[in-house]
Structure 1
Amino acid sequence: MVILFEIGSTPLFLLGADARQDSWLAMSVGAAAGFALLFLFLWIQRLMPELDLAGMLHFGFGRIAGTFFGAVYACYFSYQSMRNLRDFGELTSLTLLQSTPMSITMLVFVLVAIYAIWKGIEIIFRLPEILLPGLLFCYFLLIVLFILMRHVNLTRLTPVAENGLWPILQAALPEILSFPFGQMLVFLLLWPLWEKPGVPVKQTVWAYIGISVFLIFMNALNIAILGPDLAGSSYLPFLQSVRTLCNLRFIERLDILVTIMIYIGLFIKMLIWYYCAVETASGITKIPRKWLIFPVGALIYGASFIERSFTQHVAIGLGPSTRIDTVFQIFIPLILGLAAAVKRQSRSAPD
């Protein structure tokens, strides 16, 4: 689930495009910063292993403030799910079903997500077991084709750090830290579901390292194929990279394969954000989860039409949205962890 969630829609965009040919270095900086953030989340979970995020907020901040922050987080999770749902609609409209209204395609995906969440978390966690092997095989196949067709030109990645480290840091922080690495925040609602006692630290860390290396490689691959100018100006650079394979005589329309691959990551990400929104809302209101699935789904679906165009959607998602993310992914969790540690310490101290 860590691998598939982190893949999500990340390969769809060129993160760190402002760093040009050094965008893969910006991705590396973001992954390293996200690794430190991951340990913050693991530390918080180990402080309160029996609680999910809603319970942690109540424990750390008290009933009133905890309920307030829980409601804010439920809205935040719904917003993130909406962003992935809109990505679904835009990608379908651009590649597969140009004549079908986005409202129809997005409604279908919301209904599938509603069904999955209604059936329970066990069904959701079986999806990666089925989908991930095929997804990784497809990525491997495309990488091999790029290499065999000699579309990879490593000179496009040079000169390295031409303008120093500052542009790389600016491109990485906070944008790449927030998306995708800081989104590991959702596992504060998923780790308590693990069937064994404690927190799955080893599994999570190795999965994070593996997916970080993969995303850095994919970022460098897009630059090596398209060059920094074309990759930075393209809405969907990975799709553009795959279309360079159009001179293959025995395979056509590989962009359809890429679209399906992106669908898998997008669906998992939208589903997890949606599930976390429902669980957080249920935790603070004490309303049964199944009663909230449809209202939250309706909210996510309705909010997906607020942004007027795909250009505006991408500009908000990779701009102001990532800056707001730092509040939810860094500042509030850090304060929560410190508050919980102080409370634990005071409770364990002798009278």
Structure 2
Amino acid sequence: MPEKEIIDDKQAVLLIINMILPTALLSLPAITISIAKRDAWISAVLATGMGLIIGRLVSSLVMNFPGKTFYEFSEEILGRFFGKIVGIFFIWWLIHTCSEIVREYGEFLSTAIMPDTPITVFLVVSAIISAYAVKSGFEVLARFNLLFAVLMGVFVLVFAISFMNVKFARLLPMFDTGMADILKGTLVPLSWMGEVVVFSVFSPVLKNCRSVVRITDMSILLVGLHFFIGIAGVLMIFGPEVGSAMMYPVFNQVRMISLANFIERLDYIIFMSWVIGGFIKIGIFYFAAVIGVSWMFGLSDYRPIVFPVGIIIVALSVLIHEGIVNQLDFLKNTWPFYSIIVFEAGIPLLLWLVSQIKNRRHSA
């Protein structure tokens, strides 16, 4: 990471929130409700608690290796050979995740907004815009993230208006689904919250590394609040059967707003929030992957490989899924296990355990 690029705690919190939230608001409510039914909001609460644990794991590693990226402290903990292997796996996950995000936004735009436009157009354009942001530097990306914070404020206001149509009785009875489905339902939101691990790549740009625990805790709690409100809102307006059948229930929820036949069509505010948030999220994962590739090849400047990595991301986004139904099925049944067990919890836990064993040996 270029040493001149520094972000403060507020920018870091917004960065982590936008690293998780945009794609989650698109498809997370429907997927979670399809598993946990009317108890999906309980799954969101439990996932937040588990997300805090992953956040603490990541922050512990960052604090133990200040000024170093995930790739650098992986190599220091596991040695050059095994550290490189872990780094390569992590780079793959970042590129894969970035391709999933690009594809998800392409599917959203081509399905809900402009159905007559080929999805490839959206995939290529989003990658080009994100590549420009990555080449401009991380600090530029973090500052642009402030715009998303403003839009999220408007989003919350619009979302609050839609709650005039809610029926609280649709959340009852509690624990009607059964604990097995509730716990299974936590995996989907947890797989999004676990993306906080990507922050370990950018931790060297923090002004104060010691504040990382507060940053990750605050970020996960705010994301969890959004998850809870989003899922509960869909349940109270549409119910579990209708809500789980929709691809983008939050978008449909806002589309229903009509005040005195004057305030309506507010879905375009949500559309703008998601599009801008999506570009930033793509840029964050894109940037983390580029930093990793430059580390792997020992390059002093990451900029020459921005476009080659972008080509891989676009190509993969075209090939990985046949359509939106196939992608949603993947995000529901495969992605949580793949991401949480290996990359979001597995690798950080391995690094933490090995680092603790080494520290005890040195202190003995």
Q: TM-score, normalised by structure 1?
A: 0.93
Shift of 1:322: 1.5
What is the CA RMSD across the aligned residues, in angstroms? 1.7
Match of 1:6 in 2: 20
Counterpart CA distance in 1 for 2:175 and 2:189 is 18
1:125-144 aligned at under 5 Å gives the runs 125-143=142-160
User: What do the CA deviations read for 1:41-63 (whole angstroms, capped 9, x no partner)?
Assistant: 11111111121111121111111
- 8 Å CA contact 1:60, 1:66 repeated in 2: yes
Q: TM-score, normalised by structure 2?
A: 0.90
- 8 Å CA contact 2:56, 2:213 repeated in 1: no
1:68-147 aligned at under 5 Å gives the runs 68-143=85-160, 145-147=161-163
User: What do the CA deviations read for 1:164-219 (whole angstroms, capped 9, x no partner)?
Assistant: 423211211x33211x1111010111222112353432233223222212221111
Match of 1:156 in 2: 170
- CA separation of 1:163/1:84 partners in 2, compared to 1, >3 Å: closer, same or farther? closer
Match of 1:176 in 2: 189
Shift of 1:252: 4.0
Moved more, 151-160 or 11-20: 11-20
Does 1:330 pair with 2:345?
A: yes
Does 1:292 pair with 2:292?
A: no
* Structure 1: runs of 5 or more not aligned: none
Counterpart CA distance in 2 for 1:228 and 1:140 is 24
Moved more, 282-291 or 329-338: 282-291
Counterpart CA distance in 2 for 1:47 and 1:139 is 37
Counterpart CA distance in 2 for 1:244 and 1:318 is 26
Task: Kindly report structure 1 stretches of 4+ aligned residues shifted beyond 6 Å.
Answer: none
Shift of 1:348: 4.8
* Structure 2: runs of 5 or more not aligned: 1-14
Percent of aligned pairs with the same amino acid: 23
Equivalent position amino acid for 2:349 in 1: L
Equivalent position amino acid for 1:157 in 2: L
SS in 2 for 1:124: helix
1:231-310 aligned at under 5 Å gives the runs 231-245=243-257, 249-287=261-299, 288-306=301-319, 307-310=321-324
- 8 Å CA contact 1:91, 1:259 repeated in 2: no
Q: How many residues align?
A: 344
Equivalent position amino acid for 2:313 in 1: I
SS in 2 for 1:282: helix
Aligned pair partner of 2:181 in 167, 175, 192: 167
Equivalent position amino acid for 2:170 in 1: R
Aligned pair partner of 1:186 in 187, 198, 205: 198
Equivalent position amino acid for 1:21 in 2: R
Counterpart CA distance in 1 for 2:234 and 2:276 is 20
Shift of 1:98: 2.1
Counterpart CA distance in 2 for 1:68 and 1:76 is 13
Aligned pair partner of 2:64 in 47, 51, 58: 47
Does 1:215 pair with 2:232?
A: no
Equivalent position amino acid for 1:309 in 2: G
SS in 2 for 1:200: helix
- 8 Å CA contact 1:95, 1:256 repeated in 2: no
Counterpart CA distance in 1 for 2:113 and 2:180 is 40
Equivalent position amino acid for 2:355 in 1: A
- 8 Å CA contact 2:39, 2:177 repeated in 1: no
Does 1:203 pair with 2:221?
A: no
Counterpart CA distance in 1 for 2:115 and 2:222 is 35
Equivalent position amino acid for 1:102 in 2: I
Shift of 1:310: 0.9
